């Protein structure tokens, strides 16, 4: 049985070309039939999907997600949706809020449990499922037309991320394997939406012993080549578990 009043949505953030991006999709109208086990289950929610503007026109985009089967764990289903629709696996995925305003979906009462994921797009080759029309990265500042309260969900996800990165080193999920201190600072400035003092930022980051000097420098750059760093996985996991103050 499908829980008609409960859905799961994933806000997937990616860091590309020094800009924060969000992954959106357009699903095929028959999408849910791939997740459901019987025609009876589909009949239960068919009216919701017939009224979803994203399934009637290519004008609208939405977050990757769908209604929850009653026999699925929330966290596992969020990961399952991402894997089936895009091929994305083993990502940082965190539940951050349930959206339940009365008028958020005009034609039905739906509670949406929202997650945010952090990935480096260069590490993931999106494998588009046959049941998906399109999946595309959009700059956070240049989102297309979206369905229902998708924009509010994305904005709340970013506010949550801004809090999270100050207490846990989750931002490293958005970086390449080797990166410069400038790239690291740029990432945090974009997430936090403000400029950071370079000297203070570098001092605090280096004092945390989180970075490993790779003894390599940038290649093929017009300016003076900067040192490349990676992060120490053991220290990273320790900081993530202990919740040490990562406030920049």
Residues 73 and 145 grouped into a single domain = yes
Residues 52 and 113 grouped into a single domain = yes
Per-residue pLDDT 10s for the chain (248 aa) are 778 889 999 999 998 888 899 999 987 666 555 555 556 666 666 666 666 665 666 788 999 998 888 899 999 999 998 998 888 888 889 999 999 999 898 878 899 999 999 988 887 778 777 667 888 999 999 999 999 999 999 999 999 999 988 887 788 888 888 999 999 999 999 999 899 999 999 998 888 888 999 999 988 777 788 899 998 888 877 777 776 566 66
**196: CATH:** 1.10.10.10
The pTM score is 0.86
- As a whole number of angstroms, the distance between CA 224 and CA 180 comes to 12
Residues 54 and 142 grouped into a single domain = yes
Residues 88 and 180 grouped into a single domain = no
Domain span including residue 175? 170-242
188-206 residue pLDDT tens? 999 998 999 999 999 988 8
């Amino acid at each position: 049985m499908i829980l008609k009043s409960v859905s799961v949505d994933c806000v997937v953030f990616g860091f590309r070309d020094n800009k924060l991006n969000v992954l959106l999709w357009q699903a095929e109208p028959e999408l849910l039939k791939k997740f459901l086990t019987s025609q009876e289950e589909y009949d239960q929610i068919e009216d919701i999907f017939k009224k979803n503007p994203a399934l009637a026109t290519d004008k609208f985009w939405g977050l990757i997600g769908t209604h929850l089967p009653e026999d699925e764990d929330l966290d596992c289903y969020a990961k399952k949706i991402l894997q089936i629709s895009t091929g994305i696996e083993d990502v940082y995925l965190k539940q951050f809020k349930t959206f339940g305003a009365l008028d958020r979906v005009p034609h039905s009462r739906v509670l949406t449990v929202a997650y945010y994921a952090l990935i480096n797009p260069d590490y993931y080759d999106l494998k588009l499922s046959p049941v998906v029309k399109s999946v595309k990265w959009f700059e956070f500042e240049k989102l297309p037309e979206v369905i229902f309260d998708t924009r509010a969900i994305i904005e709340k996800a970013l506010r949550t991320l801004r809090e999270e990165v100050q207490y846990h080193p989750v931002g490293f999920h958005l970086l390449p394997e080797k990166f410069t201190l400038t790239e690291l600072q740029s990432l945090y400035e974009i997430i936090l939406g403000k400029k950071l003092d370079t000297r203070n930022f570098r001092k605090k980051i280096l004092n945390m012993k989180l970075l490993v000097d790779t003894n390599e420098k940038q290649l093929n750059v017009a300016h003076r080549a900067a040192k490349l760093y990676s992060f120490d996985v053991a220290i990273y996991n320790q900081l993530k578990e202990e919740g040490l103050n990562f406030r920049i």
